[in-house]
Amino acid sequence: MFDSLKKKLQNIRTKFASNIEEAATVQPAVEQPAPPPTVEPAPPPVITPAPPLPGKSLAPPAAREEKREDPTFFNRLKILVREREILLQEKDIEEPLMELEMVLLENDVALPVTDEIIARMKKDLVGRHRKIGASVDDLVVATLRSALCGVLGDGLDLRDYIREHERPVKILFTGVNGTGKTTTVAKVGHYLQKNGFTVVIGAGDTFRAGAIEQIRTHADRLDIKVIQHQAGADPSAVLFDAVQYAKAHEIDVVLADTAGRFHNRANLMNQLEKIRRVMKPDLVVYVDEAVAGNDAVIRAGEFNRAVGTDAVVLTKADMDSKGGAAISVAHTVGKPILFLGTGQGYDDIMPFTPRTVVDELLGGEA
């Protein structure tokens, strides 16, 4: 997943580290003052001891304090190297920053998000004293991790959300045609079952031929109850009945499937607005394909403006070598990514945890 971006970020890390090391060798470092030179004391005068008194010993006192050694030149040098600092300037990292910008754009990271990542990197690196004794790569990875996590936000744990809200929690799935929305509804249902929640599905896609049969097939395999009407029925009525069923049977979560639609189809968007008024969902989840890149980011923003969005699911993430949509959507739309679809099976859905995704991109903890 995101292999192209992962490989190129590794190259960028190397470039940053090389430039910072080079700057450290040519820039006078800010060093701690060396201790004053040791002045050897003059030898004490030779005093001839008096003859011992009868019964007295010439042995030295038992608890004689040992003379503390002054640090050697090499020990002092080690201290200085360990404490060396460098004041990074923008010119020191200008070249790798430009390369990072191109890498992000080439991997479908939206321009505003790319600009934000670059700005965060500059703010964290330029004009600050940096210790050079530690690994420079650790410094680069920590800075890049902070910038990426900053644009991805905190994420949303659906399990915690359900536990903290009144039951049934009503989740409405929206999106354009052919992005895997109905399959995603089934995957989320299976995920919730595995985590101890009861689920009912509302077959709100009464428009597309075969949609009711498709969600019914998934639900039968997963042993999930489906509320459905005949094809062509009012989807608002179907989803209203699904909510009433959940209340009557103390079901934890209602998952509402809807017909795929584009934001510029006024009649379908009006229908979606009616569904929202009738169902009163707790979460509106927009579903799109990770492989759509910037198109997914643009569409998510348009849906959010048209009917509102609370979270995003990106399907086909396993087929996306770039990762631009996953990095861009949360920041551009201002809403968290809930899940990534990673395959065809019901278990192939991954909760989106920003820190975990960034660690995957950067090769683990720094």
pLDDT at 18: 79
Checking if the pLDDT of 77 tops 50, the result is no
Can you give the residue ranges of every domain in the chain? 3-30+74-152, 158-352
Q: 124-167 pLDDT, tens per residue?
A: 888 766 665 556 778 888 889 999 999 998 889 999 999 999 99
pLDDT at 16: 81
pLDDT at 283: 97
pLDDT at 30: 46
**Residue 150, CB-side half-sphere exposure with 13 Å CA sphere:** 17
Mean pLDDT value across residues 176-202? 96
Give the DSSP H or E segment for 255.
Answer: strand 253-258
- C-alpha to C-alpha distance for 44 and 201, rounded to whole angstroms: 96
Q: Please give the residue that has the higher pLDDT: either 117 or 78.
A: 117
Strand-by-strand arrangement of the 253-258 sheet: 225-227, 199-204, 253-258, 169-175, 283-289, 311-315, 337-341, 349-351
pLDDT at 127: 76
- Contacting residues for 143 by C-beta, under 8 A, at least 6 apart: 121, 124, 125
DSSP 320: -
Return the CATH architecture of domain 158-352: 3-Layer(aba) Sandwich (3.40)
DSSP states of 98-144: HHHHHHHHHTT--HHHHHHHHHHHHHHHTTSEEESSS-HHHHHHHHH
pLDDT at 210: 87
Q: Does domain 3-30+74-152 have CATH number 1.20.120.140?
A: yes
- C-alpha to C-alpha distance for 173 and 196, rounded to whole angstroms: 21
Q: 35-51 pLDDT, tens per residue?
A: 555 555 556 655 555 55
- C-alpha to C-alpha distance for 191 and 313, rounded to whole angstroms: 14
Checking if the pLDDT of 250 tops 50, the result is yes
Q: Tell me whether the CATH fold assigned to 3-30+74-152 matches the one assigned to 158-352.
A: no
Checking if the pLDDT of 68 tops 60, the result is no
Q: What percent of the chain has pLDDT over 70?
A: 79
pLDDT at 178: 87
